Amino acid sequence: MRYTTKEIVFITTQCLNKAHCFESDVWQGEMVCAWMRYDQQIKSTVNFEISTVAGSEYIHFKDIEHDCLPGVKTKLDCMAKLDCTPCHFGGRRWWLICPMVANGKACNRRVGALYLPTTGTVFGCRRCCKLRYEKSRKSYYKYL
Ligand SMILES: [Zn+2]
């Protein structure tokens, strides 16, 4: 079965921007992602650290807790590199580099969203996670 992009935990650069994660050298905190499992909405709290220090730009996913299983934290130990490109109107646009390894080869695609397979502990891009794209995505993030 192939999941769609709204049926899986995801992190986007858009929501990281909204939470001002890229504005300090190192940002540590949690973010809540709402997604759908069958007909049930699940809110998952992802705990991570972001570094925008030049030469050491990364996002480090540490653990995740689902509201359907309160108090149960699943350890993640996943690092994804960050990349940034200059914007038209000044400032920088941040990208996530897919850290998933398939057939011994790192994906390294530059993407705007990373997804966490339900049974996995490593985030990957839409292609690595073999997701169908869901255009009318209604999921949302809340910055805590
Ligand atoms: Zn990938």
The beta-carbon contacts of 61-65 under 8 Å, at least 24 apart in sequence, are 61/11, 61/116, 61/123, 64/9, 64/116
pLDDT score of 57: 97
pLDDT score of 141: 47
What's the predicted TM-score (pTM) here?
0.86
State residue 51 phi and psi, 5-degree precision: -120, 130
Give which of 44, 120, 22 is closest to 78, Cα–Cα: 120
pLDDT score of 142: 44
pLDDT score of 88: 82
46 CA to centre of ligand 1 in angstroms: 20
Per-residue pLDDT of the chain (144 residues; tens, 9 = 90+): 678 888 889 999 999 999 999 999 999 999 999 998 888 999 999 999 999 999 999 999 999 999 999 999 999 989 999 999 988 888 889 999 999 998 899 999 999 999 998 878 999 999 999 888 766 545 444 443
27 CA to centre of ligand 1 in angstroms: 24
Q: Which residues surround ligand 1, an ion (CB under 5 A)?
A: 98, 100, 107, 109, 124-125, 128
